[in-house]
């Protein structure tokens, strides 16, 4: 159950799985002490429920509003998430990339769609070569060997038109009396495809004229046969075929223009623009980069690494960083990190406990103590004295500050001054789920006992 809850936490928020497991375990540990003294599990569960409601209400008052256009704040959120997974220098580089990626694809008044951020990887060079491309990286290139490998000032035609000879789906036959007659029949069949290619060539001549510095790129979702490729090449057009449907949607967002399905729609208004289109060879693999686009509402994070392990680490960190920035944009709020929220919540629940009557206050007390597992774990992992570190943070908060624990210096610091922020949705999800799972585990014995009693009566 705990493992499934951690997976659900990752699916919903993209972060906080470790905190979820720690808090559930600590809730059970604190409850065990009271259970050994004869306290009934139901009493603890009722106390957990009271504490959960108080904690969620406290969270709403504790969170800090942020401006979604403030890059520095979003960058701090990304760094807080990514630095737990990578070394500092690499983490800061990835945080910069994911922040710029989210800000690039965010459209006013719409939900941020992370599908518009493509994550590609190459087993090439080192992780420091990882970069953000405000455009696209296609995992294939032009199929004609003589087409240009590097183009600048490009018009982009995004289309879903077949430029290949297709056999008739109807059973039919043609009779001819001579070789010349046969050639005429073949040419007539071929003319239908050639006319389509010629319409694209005419559009290229219309928008580019005789200017050698302007280029025309055709990115087609369907096929382009060798004869059509040869016609495109002779006209100075770079043609890519069999592009993925996902990339076609992203091309429109990145380069502008409109995707067309018929040659009748061809006109200069449907074309997109890109400053640079070039091929990159990596061994036998070929990639096409579309950069300097007119409308960067779609982008690509290109991850490089010397081995699969490095690539996987950077990819996972980039994914978590994207989710962290997205959460901050959607919540329009953050929570001071470094354990500051958990220590403040512990202080608040201690006050709440005084207002609770009866044995339910034991559950509230257990919940409050369980919250301290986060700053304790931070101090322990950093190699500092746990109790001394916790006391220093509590003392600072008694003075009225939002103090948290600095893992480097071992001192209490203001996380907001150091740019240490957590996502509001991550904290809310933990406060919702952790006590529920702990309560279910505590009540297992009670459920089993009830089942046995019912069988005995039957």
pLDDT at position 186 is 66
Rg (CA), the chain: 31
Residue 336 is classified by DSSP as: E
pLDDT at position 454 is 47
What pLDDT, in 10s, does the model give residues 256-307? Answer: 788 888 888 888 888 888 888 888 777 667 778 888 887 777 788 888 887 8
State the Cα–Cα distance between residues 390 and 141, nearest whole angstrom.
57
State the Cα–Cα distance between residues 404 and 223, nearest whole angstrom.
59
Do 435 and 90 meet the contact criterion of CB atoms below 8 Å apart?
Answer: no
- Collapsing DSSP to helix, strand or coil, 285 comes out as strand
In what side-by-side order are the strands of the sheet with 117-123? 117-123, 299-305, 131-133
Domains in the chain, CATH or no CATH each: 2-66+334-447 (1.10.560.10), 136-167+177-295 (3.50.7.10)
Residue 38, Ramachandran bin (φ over 0: left; ψ between -120 and 50: alpha; else beta): left
pLDDT at position 170 is 56
Do 160 and 227 meet the contact criterion of CB atoms below 8 Å apart?
Answer: no
DSSP string across 223-250 = -B-HHHHHHHHHTTEEEE-S--HHHHHH
Kindly report the pTM of this predicted structure: 0.73
Residues of the chain with pLDDT under 50: 447-448, 451-452, 454, 458
pLDDT at position 171 is 59
pLDDT at position 276 is 84
State the Cα–Cα distance between residues 273 and 145, nearest whole angstrom.
24
What b/e sequence results for 247-272 when a residue is b if at least 16 CB atoms lie within 10 Å of its CB, and e otherwise? bbebbbbbbbbebbeebeebeeebbb
Which pair of structure tokens corresponds to residue 218?
A: 């055709």
- Residue indicated by tokens 């518009």: 116
pLDDT at position 173 is 62
């Amino acid at each position: 159950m705990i493992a499934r809850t951690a997976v659900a936490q990752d699916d919903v928020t993209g972060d906080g799985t470790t905190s979820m497991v720690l808090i559930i375990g600590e809730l059970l540990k604190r409850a065990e002490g009271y259970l050994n003294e004869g306290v009934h599990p139901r009493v603890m569960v009722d106390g957990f429920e009271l504490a959960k409601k108080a904690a969620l209400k406290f969270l709403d008052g504790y969170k800090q509003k942020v401006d979604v256009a403030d890059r520095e704040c979003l960058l701090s959120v990304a760094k807080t998430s990514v630095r737990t997974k990578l070394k500092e220098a690499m983490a800061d580089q990835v945080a910069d990339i994911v922040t710029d990626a989210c800000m690039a694809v965010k459209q006013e008044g719409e939900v941020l769609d992370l599908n518009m951020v493509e994550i590609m990887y190459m087993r090439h060079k080192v992780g420091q070569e990882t970069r953000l491309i405000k455009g696209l990286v296609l995992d294939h290139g032009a199929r004609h060997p003589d087409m240009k490998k590097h183009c600048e000032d490009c018009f982009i035609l995004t289309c879903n038109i077949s430029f290949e000879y297709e056999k008739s789906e109807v059973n039919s036959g043609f009779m001819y009396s001579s070789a010349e007659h046969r050639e005429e029949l073949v040419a007539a069949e071929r003319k239908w495809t050639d006319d389509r290619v010629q319409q694209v060539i005419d559009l290229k001549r219309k928008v580019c004229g005789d200017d050698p510095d302007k280029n025309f790129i055709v990115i087609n979702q369907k096929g382009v046969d060798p004869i059509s490729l040869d016609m495109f090449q002779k006209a100075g057009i770079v043609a890519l075929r069999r592009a993925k449907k996902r990339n076609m949607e992203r091309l429109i967002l990145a380069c502008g223009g409109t995707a067309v399905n018929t040659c009748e729609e061809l006109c200069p208004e449907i074309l997109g623009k890109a400053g640079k289109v070039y091929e990159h060879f990596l061994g036998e693999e070929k990639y096409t980069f579309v950069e300097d686009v007119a409308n960067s509402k779609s982008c690509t994070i290109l991850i490089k690494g010397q081995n699969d392990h490095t690539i996987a680490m950077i990819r996972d960190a980039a994914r978590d960083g994207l989710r962290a920035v997205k959460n901050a944009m959607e919540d329009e709020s953050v929570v001071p990190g470094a354990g500051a929220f958990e220590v403040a919540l512990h202080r608040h629940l201690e006050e709440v406990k005084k207002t609770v009557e009866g044995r339910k206050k034991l559950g509230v007390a257990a919940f409050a103590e369980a919250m301290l597992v986060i700053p304790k774990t931070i101090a322990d992992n950093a190699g500092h004295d746990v109790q001394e570190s916790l006391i220093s943070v509590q003392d600072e908060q008694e003075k009225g500050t939002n103090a948290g624990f600095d893992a480097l210096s071992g001192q209490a610091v203001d996380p907001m001054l150091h740019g240490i922020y957590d996502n509001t949705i991550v904290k809310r999800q933990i406060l919702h789920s952790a006590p529920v799972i702990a309560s279910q585990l505590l009540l297992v014995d009670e459920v089993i006992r009830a089942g046995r009693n019912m069988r005995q009566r039957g």
